[in-house]
């Protein structure tokens, strides 16, 4: 794993801990949750719509094979 992946793993681990339903975290004030919700929504939108920067392999076209025996004279 590279450093960039570790950052994303750490961020989403924190989000998973905040929004888990087994051991809920209560902040008791709606004003605390609003920025967290907005940040999380933006983060999920970024992940959904960002294109990966990995190099894509170019698909090579298959060349048509020409057989001399298939010619019609």
DSSP character for 51? P
Q: What is the pLDDT of residue 64?
A: 73
Per-residue pLDDT tens for 36-58? 899 999 999 988 888 666 655 66
- The residue assigned the tokens 């294109």 is 51
Angle ∠(47,60,64) on CA atoms, nearest 5: 150
- What predicted TM-score, i.e. pTM, was given to this entire model? 0.58
Model confidence at 32, in pLDDT bands (50, 70, 90)? confident
Q: What is the pLDDT of residue 67?
A: 67
Residues in the chain: 73
């Amino acid at each position: 794993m590279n450093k960039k992946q570790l950052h994303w793993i750490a961020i989403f681990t924190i989000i998973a801990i905040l929004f888990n339903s087994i051991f809920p975290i209560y902040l008791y004030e709606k004003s605390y949750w609003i920025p967290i919700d907005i940040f999380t929504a933006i983060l999920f939108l970024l992940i959904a719509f960002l294109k990966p920067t990995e190099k894509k392999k170019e698909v090579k076209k298959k060349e048509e094979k020409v057989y001399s025996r298939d010619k019609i004279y």
